[in-house]
A and B are shown apart, each in its own frame.
Chain A
Amino acid sequence: MPNIRLVFAGLARIAMKAKIIITPKKAVLDPQGKTVQSALEHMGYQGVAGVHVGKYVEIDLAPGTDRAAAQQALNEACHRFLSNPVIEDYKLEIE
């Protein structure tokens, strides 16, 4: 039977991580994606219907951060700064 005090102490020290994927909007020209697709095809990979090149951002959150507050703050950060809503979409996950 695990020591309950130690388990809770451990959980409090687990730092959360935000994982953000930023991709170009479908309406936006993605020449990088097209070039990578072309290269994949030249390399012999078949069945590639499309390639979209985006960005991945990982943010380490301080231990003890409130998840709901972090979700809200990060959504705002994604919308205001980490992505440009004119040309990009984003997906935010906190784990």
Chain B
Amino acid sequence: MNFAVLQFPASNCDQDAVHAARLLGHSARLVWHKDNSLGDADAVIVPGGFSYGDYLRCGAIARFSPVMQAVKQFADNGGLVLGICNGFQVLCEAHLLPGALIRNRSLQFRCEQIHLKTVAHDSPFTSQIPAGKVLRVPIAHGEGCYFADAETLSQLKAGRQILWQYCTAAGAVTDAANPNGAIENIAGICNARRNVAGLMPHPERACEPLLGSTDGRLIFESMLQTLATPSATLAA
């Protein structure tokens, strides 16, 4: 499979995303934000970083980059798009995902291993995650607090769009396990159609034992499994 990994000015987790895809035996290439085409991509990764210096708001300027037109088209056609950290912020700003990410409630930049509980297993991003398995993945963000108004939140719940919540190592969703104040400990969500997802943690940095966890692989393997079996697509 071919992954297209976007590159905005000041994206800095793009190389890690390419590396993760290649580690899993697939191909990946960087797509510069000014390109109008994603090439023959099977899936798109919008990587982490500080695109445009986080000026105005995180992802606010990147969302208007030319390549985002191609991403929107790709998503409208049912293609899989995964936004990681700044990528999640870009997708929310682009309205490909609902809600917004704001400053961590502690005002601290949190750079640490956290644990994720998978809330919905029926998505192209979670299908290969065993039930009950707690994922250990790193975060590195200052503005990862997910916010959505009451109406949006109830839509997310009704649509089973909350994919991951911050939890303890034992899988309990508690306030202490919430690194940034996100409502309902939401770490990642998908759109109603289930082909676009975003999460604040970095699964691409949890794909090899050297970095302390290989749990991130399960997210990419879910995407690969979905791509390999088009008739079994989970898109609504």
State the A residues within 8 Å of B (CB): 24, 27-29, 31-32, 35, 55, 81-82, 84, 86-87
Given contacts A31-B103, A31-B105, whether A84 and B93 have CB atoms under 8 Å apart is yes
Best-buried of A24, A28, A29, A86 by chain B (most CB within 10 Å): A86
Q: By the criterion CB–CB under 8 Å, are B102 and A87 in contact?
A: yes
| Chain A: minimal CB distance from B171 (Å) | 26
- Cross-chain contact B107 with A86 (CB below 8 angstroms): no
Q: How far is the CA of A85 from the CA of B233 in the complex (A)?
A: 33
Can you list 12 A-B pairs with a CB-CB distance of less than 8 A?
A27-B149, A29-B147, A31-B103, A31-B181, A32-B107, A81-B64, A84-B57, A84-B93, A86-B148, A87-B100, A87-B102, A87-B147
In the bound complex, CA of A55 to CA of B60 (Å): 14
For the complex, count residues of B whose C-beta is within 8 A of A.
19
Report yes or no: B149 in contact with A86, Cβ–Cβ below 8 A: yes
- The answer to whether B99 touches A86, judged by C-beta atoms less than 8 angstroms apart, is yes
- A28–B181 alpha-carbon span in the complex (Å): 11
Which chain A residues lie closer than 8 Å to B148 at the CB level? 86
Instruction: Give bound CA distance, A28 to B101, whole Å.
Output: 11
For the complex formed, measure the closest distance between the CB of A18 and the CB atoms of chain B, giving whole angstroms: 15
Given contacts A81-B64, A86-B100, A87-B147, contact A29 B105 (CB under 8 A): yes
Chain B contact residues, majority secondary structure = loop
**Out of A28, A55, A81, which one reaches B102, CB within 8 Å?**
A28
CB distance from A2 to the nearest CB of B (A): 43
B174 at the interface (CB under 8 A from A): no
Identify the B interface with A (CB < 8 A).
56-57, 60, 64, 92-93, 99-100, 102-107, 145, 147-149, 181
Checking B56, B99, B102, B149 against A29 with a beta-carbon cut-off of 8 angstroms, the contacting residue is B102
Cα distance A53–B99 when bound, in Å? 20
Besides A32-B107, A81-B64, A84-B93, 13 new A-B residue pairs in contact (Cβ under 8 A), listed by A number:
A28-B102, A28-B147, A29-B102, A29-B145, A31-B104, A31-B105, A32-B103, A55-B56, A81-B56, A84-B60, A86-B92, A86-B99, A87-B100
CB-CB under 8 A from B56, the residues of chain A are 55, 81-82
Q: With A81-B60, A86-B147, A86-B149 as known contacts, state yes or no: A31 contacts B100, CB within 8 Å.
A: no
Chain A residue, CB-CB nearest to B93: A84
Partner of A35, one of B64, B93, B100, B107: B107
- A29 and B100 contact, Cβ closer than 8 Å, known pairs A82-B56, A84-B93: no
In angstroms, Cα B57 to Cα A35, docked, is: 20
Q: A54 → chain B, closest Cβ, in Å? A: 12
Question: Across the interface, which residues of B come within 8 angstroms of A32, CB to CB?
Answer: 103, 107
Q: Give complex CA distance A87, B183 in Å.
A: 13
A87 to B60, CA, bound (A): 13
Closest A residue to B102 by beta carbon equals: A87
Question: B183 to nearest A CB, angstroms?
Answer: 9
Q: In the complex the two chains form, what is the Cα distance from A27 to B148 in whole Å?
A: 10
Residues of B within 8 A of A86 (CB): 92, 99-100, 147-149
